[in-house]
Amino acid sequence: MSGVRRTTLIYGGFVVAVAAACYPIFFHPLSHSNEYREIQKINRAGINQADVQPVGVKIWSDPFKPKS
């Protein structure tokens, strides 16, 4: 019984660690999209997209805009 419990704790700990690492990368931005929009407005203020963007590459778009 001790071996099964230890194995369960090891695998469970691994799953918890992966979930904890994924939260700030994936789930926090999805649930706080308005904050990230405002941050991007501030960061991109004063930048002419045509001057920065390489030739033939699509100009920046809002990454938080729902795809239609």
pLDDT tens, residue by residue, 2-48? 889 999 999 999 999 999 999 998 888 888 888 988 988 898 888 88
Domain-wise residue ranges, the chain = 2-52
pLDDT tens, residue by residue, 44-68? 888 887 777 777 777 777 777 777 6
| The token pair that represents 33 in the structure block | 């999209």
Could you identify the residue written with the tokens 């699509």? 58
**pLDDT value, residue 14:** 97
Amino acid at 31: S
Q: For 33-52, b where at least 16 C-beta lie within 10 A, e where not — what string?
A: eeeeeeeeeeeeeeeeeeee
